[in-house]
Amino acid sequence: MELMLRIVLSTVRHRKAGFAGAFVALLCAAALVCACGVLLDTGLRGSVAPERYAGAPVVVTGDQFVHQTKIKKKGKVKHKAKAIAERAWLPASTADAVRAAGARDVVTEVAFPAEIGTAPDESWGHGWESAALTPFTLREGRAPAAPDEIVVDAATARANGLRPGSRVRVASAEPGSYRVSGVTRQALKDQAAIFFTTAEARRLAGHPGQVTAIGATGSKAAIAAALRGTRATVHTGADRGRAEFPGAERSRIKLISMGGALGGTALLVAILVVSGTFALSVQQRQREIALLRAVAATPRQVRRMIGREALLIGLAAGPLGAAAGLPLAFWLRDRFRGLGALPPNLDLVVSPFPPAAAAVAAIVAAVAAARIAGRRTARIRPVEALGDAAMAPARLGVARTAAGLLVLAGSVVLTIVLAGLHTEAAASPVTMLTALAWTVAVALLGPVIARAAVAVLAVPLRAFPVAGHLAAANLGAGARRLASVITPLTLMIGLTATILFAQTTTGRAAVRQATGGTLAAHVAGPKIPHGTAEAIRRTPGVAAVTEVVHSTVRVGLENYGVQGVTTAGLDKTMDLDVRKGDIKALDPSSIAVSTTAASRLHVGPGDTLRLTLGDGTPAALKVVAVYGRGLGFGDLTVAHDLLAAHVDDPRGTVLIAGTAPESVPTVSASTLAEDTASANAEVNYIAMGLIIAFTAIAVVNTLAMSTAGRARELAVLRLSGATRRQITRMLGGETLAVVLVAGVLGTAIALATLTAFGRGMTGGGPSVPPLAHLGVIAWGGLLAAAATALPARLAMRTRPADAVGARE
């Protein structure tokens, strides 16, 4: 045991360059897994502190979830719940039930979007009676007494220069001019508060006889018992924050899927990269291992030595990488907040679990990768130590060939499955898994692919007298080494192209459909109130106006995007590409569905579709039409009045046929669609960009290790009469061959994956800008050139005689 440990420590000490590559790969892998773990942990255990409801011990709100109960085999009951998209409302009479339960200080409130000037993202109007929930107190002036009076919070007053007596315009579903009657002493951290009279607030909220929340002091159990059987839910403690910020709760749930998917992908990529790194490291030591076998070391002892070397590196890299993952998680948080994907009041949960899991994952990956990589090498024959190089076998092992063919078959199956997925939530994780599966197949069958590629590339390489012949000979003799350096570059090109062009495939299809289906000459938005739309409709020169509001509904537990449209003059402003039925028959009791939704839901004209609107209200609507432009306009279309009554903000966009009034700012339909597609894509780019960066590091790492490990070979060439210039050209030819092979393989992987993705999501092919894809390959080429040139220059600084005689 002690002798083995000394050998391990001596090997690591004298082969710093080779083990440095494995160390870097493991450190980056641990950092990436830790950052994803923090996101996942935040989604699972994160909470939002209450602000508006901080002064109410008990808060009652509507149920923000859709529930589904299924009875499975053997009588097992499975319950699932999914968050709804809008705020759930309660009957105002619920307050009476709360009082009857013995609660004191019962306060009702309504909340609706209302802004003054450049308000923060969260800016809400309320009735003054709900000021006690925080509580808010007056610093100046008095409470609002007339319908045209408001009280503003201290931050809003300071930002807009307001004081009692000021006149200001408040933007809402029914905008108007109000006089400031008072300014509060308090201001909330993450939202602005504007207080109206109770009657005016309820009028502007647009939900007669309903409230958004009820605050009280009393027993949670007693209140819950009194409300049993209703859609009311009772919250205390930190749970009040979830009730106050339903958007933050939805973001928390999204973090679970994002962190899980990103972490799983990162772990798979890490295993693939680390395995390749250790495989290359072990290949470079074949003569050394053969010498150990020649002095009676058994295959088991060799495997244990390699495993302990990996364990030593993993113990060093894992904790360091996990520690680096914490600032990486905070960097991700800031980027997501900047894009609006993560609310400012949902902070990261930092606990020891993600770093510990990342460190353990790195150590396990190191040991597993080393044992797999050293399995064949440990069985090397001692007589091979007498050779100048450990030559690769003529054929792959049976186990590796079988594994490669099995993964190849799995990749084909995943590609076929991907072609049948029509929603982004289902297709996105399968898209990444498909690209990874193809890359794993390439890695397993790499030597065979490398030999075939060399056979093709050797002909043009030999056109160059010395350097070309040397490059062709080296590539042909080192098929396994070539496969080891091709794999990470293929992975980087394939994943980068898949991530980038999956977004362009759906984004451009959506833009094409939105642009082609918008007949209106002008689009105004995004927050145009109904009154403004009516004024535009009455303007001379306007032929038709269509109001459009968007939301998300659930059919069962599945999410579907929905738009609500006014039907008068719809044929002059919007063409949904109706395939079946008649869109003119659309009214508040009916619905039109896209071809994708119709296929998934198995409905057509005349059928009844049951769904849950954004605020949790169930509806049964008759299908009157099936249309083709679902990507551009949403999978479902309903009457505007129906949807507007069940969203937090009924303001939306306005399509104008004819001449738009000069006072109304307009944009083109393509610009609006591109902005929407770009906002959605940026979140995915940031999340997956870390994996692309990791694969780029792996490319540099592997190529640098490969070149540095050839110092003795380069020295022999120099002793044989080759000049530095000829060797540099030889390495350049080899690098060019590696980039060409990886470019072809990465492109093939991306095209196979994107073709299936495009067929499922858009019904067409992928959208791959040629220059952008050439840029991806060129970037891979630059990385490969840099990772080869610098180690080669360092290796050739050593005198050839010293390099040949140096201990390997």
SS3 205: helix
Shared domain check, 783 and 733: yes
Q: What angle, 0 to 180 degrees and rounded to 10, lies between the N-to-C axes of helices 246-283 and 353-377?
A: 30
The pLDDT-based confidence of 566 (bands split at 50, 70, 90) is very high
Model pLDDT, residue 301: 72
Shared domain check, 567 and 422: no
Residue at 665 is within a domain: no
Shared domain check, 421 and 404: yes
Last residue of a domain, one of 195, 219, 237: 237
The share of the chain scoring above pLDDT 70, in percent, equals 84
The share of the chain scoring above pLDDT 90, in percent, equals 36
pTM score of the predicted model: 0.81
Residue at 264 is within a domain: yes
- Please list the alpha-helical segments (H only) found in 145-285: 154-160, 198-205, 220-226, 239-244, 246-283
Residue at 622 is within a domain: yes
Q: Give residue-wise pLDDT tens across range 448-468.
A: 887 787 777 766 766 667 666
Of 13-22, 420-429, 549-558, 612-621, where does mean pLDDT reach its minimum? Answer: 13-22
Q: Give residue-wise pLDDT tens across range 714-769.
A: 777 777 777 778 777 777 777 888 888 889 999 999 999 999 998 888 888 888 88
Above 90 in pLDDT, residue 476?
no
Last residue of a domain, one of 659, 681, 704: 659
Last residue of a domain, one of 659, 683, 707: 659
Q: Give residue-wise pLDDT tens across range 213-255.
A: 999 999 999 999 999 989 999 999 888 988 888 877 777 777 8
Shared domain check, 441 and 350: no
Shared domain check, 380 and 263: yes
Q: Give residue-wise pLDDT tens across range 179-202.
A: 999 999 999 888 899 999 999 999
The range of the structural domain enclosing residue 143 comes to: 58-237
Residue at 194 is within a domain: yes
Shared domain check, 384 and 397: no
Model pLDDT, residue 472: 65
Hey, what are 741's tokens?
């092979």
- What's the angle, vertex CA 685, arms to CA 682 and CA 690, rounded to 5? 140
Give dist(CA 324, CA 69) in Å, integer: 43
Average pLDDT over residues 305-311: 77
Residue at 664 is within a domain: no
Q: Give residue-wise pLDDT tens across range 339-378.
A: 777 777 788 888 899 999 889 888 888 887 777 666 665 5
Shared domain check, 678 and 570: no
Q: What angle, 0 to 180 degrees and rounded to 10, lies between the N-to-C axes of helices 446-461 and 479-517?
A: 90
Q: Give residue-wise pLDDT tens across range 686-702.
A: 767 777 887 887 777 77
SS3 395: coil
163: left (phi over 0), alpha (psi -120 to 50) or beta: beta
Shared domain check, 342 and 410: no
Report CA torsion sign: 7, 12, 18, 23.
positive
756: left (phi over 0), alpha (psi -120 to 50) or beta: alpha
Q: 652: closest CA among 528, 537, 521?
A: 528
Q: Give residue-wise pLDDT tens across range 142-162.
A: 999 999 999 999 999 999 999
Contacts of 139 (CB under 8 A, 6+ apart): 154, 182, 183, 184, 185
Model pLDDT, residue 388: 43
Model pLDDT, residue 23: 81
Shared domain check, 756 and 645: no
Model pLDDT, residue 801: 55
DSSP state of 635: S
Cβ pair 622, 603 in contact under 8 A: no
Cβ pair 773, 747 in contact under 8 A: yes
DSSP state of 767: -
Q: Looking up tokens 């958007």, which residue turns up?
A: 247
User: What is the helix, strand, coil percentage profile of the chain, to 5?
Assistant: 55, 20, 25
Average pLDDT over residues 403-426: 88
Model pLDDT, residue 748: 93
Q: Give residue-wise pLDDT tens across range 322-344.
A: 999 999 989 888 888 877 777 77
Q: 435: closest CA among 685, 765, 749?
A: 749
Average pLDDT over residues 575-604: 93
Shared domain check, 412 and 354: no
- As a whole number, the mean pLDDT across the chain is 83
Above 60 in pLDDT, residue 545?
yes
Model pLDDT, residue 394: 45
Model pLDDT, residue 730: 77
Model pLDDT, residue 154: 93
Hey, what are 506's tokens?
């759906």
Model pLDDT, residue 483: 73
Shared domain check, 63 and 105: yes
Cβ pair 72, 78 in contact under 8 A: yes
Model pLDDT, residue 390: 43
Model pLDDT, residue 799: 61
Above 90 in pLDDT, residue 168?
yes
Residue at 144 is within a domain: yes
Q: Give residue-wise pLDDT tens across range 641-663.
A: 999 999 999 999 999 998 888 77
Model pLDDT, residue 808: 43
Model pLDDT, residue 77: 78
Shared domain check, 548 and 626: yes
Report CA torsion sign: 94, 96, 102, 104.
positive
Above 60 in pLDDT, residue 44?
yes
Q: Supply the Cα-derived Rg of the chain in whole angstroms.
A: 32
Contacts of 471 (CB under 8 A, 6+ apart): 461, 464, 729, 730, 731, 733, 734, 737
Residue at 540 is within a domain: yes
Above 70 in pLDDT, residue 791?
yes
DSSP state of 73: G
| Number of separate domains in the chain | 4
Q: How far apart, in Å, are the Cα atoms of 363 and each of 210, 279, 338, 376, 511?
A: 57, 16, 34, 21, 46
Average pLDDT over residues 532-541: 90
Residue at 473 is within a domain: yes
Above 80 in pLDDT, residue 546?
yes
